[in-house]
Amino acid sequence: MSGQHYAAIEAGGTKFRVAIAEGRNIVADITVPTTSPEETLAATIGFIRNWGGIAAVGIACFGPLDLEEKSPTYGSIASTPKPGWSHAPVLSHIREELGVPAAIDVDVGGAALGEWRWGAAQDLRHFIYITVGTGIGGGLFVDGKVHHGMGHPEMGHVPVERVSGDDFAGFCRFHGACLEGMASGPAIADRWGAPGADLSEQWEVWDLEATYLAQALRTFTYVAAPQRILLGGGVMQQSGLLELTRENLADQLAGYVTSDTLRGPLDHYVVAPAFGQDAGLVGAIALAMEAASSGG
């Protein structure tokens, strides 16, 4: 509905981006640092309340989140090492304070929804949205909607096969050398002694990065048979990494493919998200629209 105003929240581990959108166009926004849940949510809610007259709220939130449909704590943060945030009732608090329909998903689930409605996954029934940033996460879109199972998927924590000669222990506090532990932004910085943005000239950095990412994409391809994989997040801003990951994936699939999409250079299979670093915020607008139409 044009003219309708929505509030969109991209709730991240270091900052919350809060926007008011008219239709899908952002007309006002602020950034709130993520401190305690009380303080952060109060600033977020204050901004939205001051604007007034919004139809619904959408929240694309860092995880882990309780997304089990019948759970009494649906929409709360689950157990997290992030101080103060375990069990924070994000959805119910916002709903009660603002008194309008609200919907929540993990950031990557929201981003997938936004890309499906308006971005790089329009008209697809099955695809995956992955972000490679401070962490690695994936939203799985199956049969026309964001998939939730027993909670939400955690695609960043799949195992990868250590490349010979790489002796980095891995960065994940739970698994050590899982995908996130080996290929996230902090893993790159820790392994090579400098943040990725400063390592552009070092070919071996990106060859190794592409190898680990492609290992995981091969797993996701074979497990979920998506029609496309969107690869976003800060690390993917590294020039040439997307292309290198595609080439590596093509090698790793080794010709064992079930669809013509997987033959050839994969440039329609592994793509950048249309909304880039705004994918989460745009996804939150899409979530708000869903909440408005379902009365959530």
Closer residue to ligand ADP, CB minimum distance, 37 or 156: 156
Q: Which of 4, 73, 92, 134 binds ligand ADP (CB under 6 A)?
A: 134
Amino acid at 215: Q
Q: Which of Zn ion, ligand ADP, none has residue 178 at its interface (CB below 5 to 8 Å by kind)?
A: Zn ion
Q: What radius of gyration do the chain's Cα atoms show? A: 19
Q: x-or-dash pattern for ligand ADP, window 178-197, by CB under 6 A?
A: -------xx--------xxx
> Binding of ligand ADP at residue 234 (CB under 6 A)?
yes
Question: Among 117, 140, 101, 100, which Cα is nearest to 221's?
Answer: 140
CB 283 within 8 A of CB 113: yes
Closest CB to ligand ADP among residues 80, 134: 134
Return the sign of the alpha-carbon dihedral for residues 134, 122, 109, 22: positive
Residue 174 CB, nearest approach to Zn ion (Å)? 5
**Of the residues 80, 92, 227, 237, which one makes contact with ligand ADP according to CB under 6 A:** 237
Cβ neighbours of 122 (radius 10 Å): 10
**Residues between 256 and 285 that touch ligand ADP (CB under 6 A):** none
Told to check if 80 binds Zn ion by CB under 5 A, we report no
What's the sign of the alpha-carbon dihedral 106, 149, 232, 161? positive
Q: Least distance in Å: CB of 126 to ligand ADP?
A: 24
Binders of Zn ion among residues 173 to 192 (CB under 5 A) are 174-175, 178, 180
Using CB under 6 A as the binding criterion, the count of chain residues that bind ligand ADP stands at 16
Quote the tokens at residue 198. Answer: 């400063």
Helix axis angle, 241-253 relative to 203-224, nearest 10°?
A: 50
3-state secondary structure of 72: coil
DSSP bridge pairs for 232: 131
Residue 64 interacts with which of Zn ion, ligand ADP, none, CB < 5 to 8 Å by class: none
Helix (H) / strand (E) element for 14: namely: none
Spatial distance between the Cα atoms of 7 and 208, rounded to a whole number of angstroms: 40
Query: 113 or 155: whose CB is closer to Zn ion?
Result: 155
9/107 Cα distance (integer angstroms): 10
Which range, of 98-106, 110-118, 126-134, 251-259, touches ligand ADP by CB under 6 A?
Answer: 126-134
Name the strand (E) or helix (H) holding 182. Answer: helix 179-183
Q: Could you say which of Zn ion, ligand ADP, none residue 84 binds, taking C-beta under 5 to 8 angstroms by partner kind? A: none
Pick from Zn ion, ligand ADP, none: which does 134 bind, CB < 5 to 8 A by kind? ligand ADP
Q: Per CB under 6 A, which region of 63-71, 148-156, 215-223, 233-241 contacts ligand ADP?
A: 233-241
Q: Using alpha carbons only, give the angle 198, 202, 203 rounded to the nearest 5 degrees.
A: 135
Q: What does the binding site for Zn ion look like in residue numbers (CB under 5 A)?
A: 157, 172, 174-175, 178, 180
Q: What does the binding site for ligand ADP look like in residue numbers (CB under 6 A)?
A: 12, 14, 131, 133-135, 185-186, 195-197, 233-235, 237-238
